[in-house]
Structure 1
Amino acid sequence: MNLSSDQVVLWQVGFATLNLTIVTTWALMAVLTLGSYLITRRLVTDGPLSRWQAALELIVTTLITQIGVTGLEQPRRYLVFLGSLFLFLATANVCTVIPGYQPPTGSLSTTAALALCVFVAVPFFGIREQGMRAYLKTYLKPTAIMLPFNVISELSRTLALAIRLFGNMMSGAMIIAILISITPLLFPIVMTALGLLTGMVQAYIFTILAAVYIAAATVERRTKAGPDTTAPPPAAP
């Protein structure tokens, strides 16, 4: 039994290696790209909606709502990044119902790459909202002595994102594989369903944590803006 799809090497020449993780990841990206093209090529704004468009709109509106809950005031600005994260993770984890499929999220290399995307996105959005100088000053708060601790915090939460997703997905796949080999058919089916639910929860948690980190990086500008002073004062009693 392979602990990770990284161990399934399909082609290798010298240091160049093509393993199952890479193939599965690119296959999932191809499926998502083709699916998005097929669904969005015939969108309508009025009249009856197709089932695919209705499902797509439900996913998009739910993501926008959940992103807004984290404190991001304009969730549509972050929908492309966070929505892509969620759709990739959800698709990768849902496909575990396919016999013989090993999710790329059960590989530390994949989860580390996703965590690094979040690590880069946080300062990107923070600088875009606040500017370079204002964002870098956040590492000196509340005092300059906190600089190394704030940097360590950024690195540690990135590591935690990668390890959390990797650990949950790998352990779930291992448990299902063990049960299939030693128990009757019915019990592994139940565990597969529970693993499917766990995978969706992990996709949601990963995306929401990324949104929370981005919200924390962009909150300084909203704090400085303060309350809306253009509104009329309340009437005297």
Structure 2
Amino acid sequence: MRKIFTLCSLAFLIINISMQAQTKARPKVGGPCEGCNLLFLGIPKAMNSVDTSAAWDEKGANKILIKGTVYQRDGKTPAPNVVVYYYHTDTKGNYTPNAAVPKGAERHGYLRGWVKSDQNGHYAIYTIRPASYPGTDILAHIHVTIKEPKLKEPYYIDEFLFDDDPFMTPERRKGHANRGGNGILKLVKNGNGLWVANHDIILGLNIPNYPK
């Protein structure tokens, strides 16, 4: 009986070690993602599918609305309860923190926020148009990180860029990985004078190590 017990224990130990090795060897979804975990710093306990950034009422800022649908990998099925975290520079091109920014997230500045897609996959972000980094020709952009309910870690998708950016060139227009979809936004002015861009997000599209 003791021999059988010993053999069972040994088998269990081998299986456990094997499973741990597989877990450690499993590549990270999305690959390396510097700063992605800052998504969790200051994250609200309750999130809506609509968010308005802290700079919405600032004078001289160009207000924009980015809205769309988050889809599953098939590009057709709406994906609810997906957290979309965004952050970007201010009108001077800086990631300026303020008192509301939690310790550790200062480098993302105060223009940061979260939305969670609704039951139809919809999301909407009211914010201002960011500026390029001071003294550079780097395209103005909005960083976007995704946290799916079934995945442990977040991953980034294509930065939101602007089709009419003065620094946009044919080469830059083509040089994207299309992670989650092409991030180049086309802003259109609506009847209320608000610049609006429609942008759908496809989970897992061109995301390395994404589970099948």
Relative to its length, the structure with more helix (as a share) is: 1
Task: Give yes or no for TM over 0.5.
Answer: no
- Please tell me the TM-score bracket, short chain as reference: under 0.3
> TM-score, normalised on structure 2?
0.24
Relative to its length, the structure with more strand (as a share) is: 2
> TM-score, normalised on structure 1?
0.22
